Amino acid sequence: MTSGRRETPPRPTGEPPTARRPLAFGPYEDLTGWLRGLGLALAVGLFLALSGAFVDDGAPLGLRLAFWLPMMGIGALWGGFIARIMFPQHGAEDGPLEGVWRSCLWAALAMAAPFTGMVWTANWLAFGHQISWRSLPYLFGSVFALSLAMTLLNTLVESRRAAIRRLSAGPPRPRPVRFLEKLPPWLRGAELHAIEAEDHYLRLHTSKGQDLILMRLGDAIEELEGLEGAQVHRSWWVARAAVEDVRRGDGRAILTLKTGVEVPVSRTYARLLRAAGWY
């Protein structure tokens, strides 16, 4: 007997998650990462103080240190905040620097705009002289170049550390399939071949036999993540590994499972399963 309900597209399970993760080297991952970035910024600040860049190189070293070390410390904080906003979301399938160059440019621009004003004001307060308005474009360019260099340097350092962590951690452990915990005790350890909806119950087709549990098919499919399979009919979900034979005709298909159970595939699901390479 058929009903007037419209079938929804199949809901495959066991596929890699599509959610995209943030870059491991965009914002600092934790306190250790921020301290590493802070240490790098202070080291660059020490170099700038010793070289007298951007300030009066005739000023005492202590004054230049008092100028650059706090400035670079604030820059480390501001850079981490900007990176969290500016850096895009990339999946693990992306290349290690896919799209990062553009993000570094935008992050450096966002950092350079306020820091140009800070350097201009700090020069006036600390050293008693003002940078002329005509020199502001040059000052902005210099601050932008420094911001871009720091962003790229942090990016390369953090990406290398993230790659080392991934290699040392090895392949991720597969997550347990939550639905298998709902199998009756006598079916535990069996291969799940298919799930068939019968009113408010689900009939479980396994390598050890069949049984009924009280559950909705939609809820079961949500808990089947990690087990490769798909909904093939409004009343059936099938594990791909359990399919031994496929018969096609009249736009429909019949799947034969290892146990000999035959599962109907509706026209809607037949087209999508064919596109997914099931037959």
**Domain boundary residue, one of 152, 169, 186:** 169
Query: Residue 251: what pLDDT?
Result: 62
Cα–Cα dist 68/74, whole Å: 10
Cα–Cα dist 142/116, whole Å: 9
- 190 and 127 share one domain: no
Q: Is residue 9 part of a domain?
A: no
Checking if the pLDDT of 206 tops 80, the result is: yes
Checking if the pLDDT of 7 tops 80, the result is: no
| Digit-coded pLDDT (tens) for 111-159 | 888 887 777 777 677 666 666 667 777 878 888 888 888 888 777 777 7
- 254 and 215 share one domain: yes
Cα–Cα dist 265/211, whole Å: 22
Q: Work out the pLDDT band at 30, boundaries 50, 70, 90.
A: low
Write down the pTM of the prediction: 0.43
Query: Residue 201: what pLDDT?
Result: 94
Q: Is residue 236 part of a domain?
A: yes
Query: Residue 26: what pLDDT?
Result: 43
Query: Residue 89: what pLDDT?
Result: 46
DSSP 42-72: HHHHHHHHHHTTTS-TTS-HHHHHHHHHHHH
Q: Which of 204, 191, 196 is nearest to 244 (CA)?
A: 191
- 194 and 258 share one domain: yes
Cα–Cα dist 121/125, whole Å: 6
Q: Which domain holds residue 142?
A: 21-169
Query: Residue 36: what pLDDT?
Result: 77
Checking if the pLDDT of 246 tops 50, the result is: yes
Higher pLDDT, 19 or 277: 277
Query: Residue 55: what pLDDT?
Result: 60
**Domain boundary residue, one of 169, 187, 220:** 169
Query: Domain total for the chain?
Result: 2
The H helix count followed by the E strand count for the chain is 6, 10
**Residues in Cβ contact with 245 at an 8 Å cutoff, skipping those fewer than 6 apart:** 255, 256
Q: Is residue 15 part of a domain?
A: no
| Digit-coded pLDDT (tens) for 64-98 | 788 778 888 887 777 777 776 766 544 333 444 44
Q: Is residue 11 part of a domain?
A: no
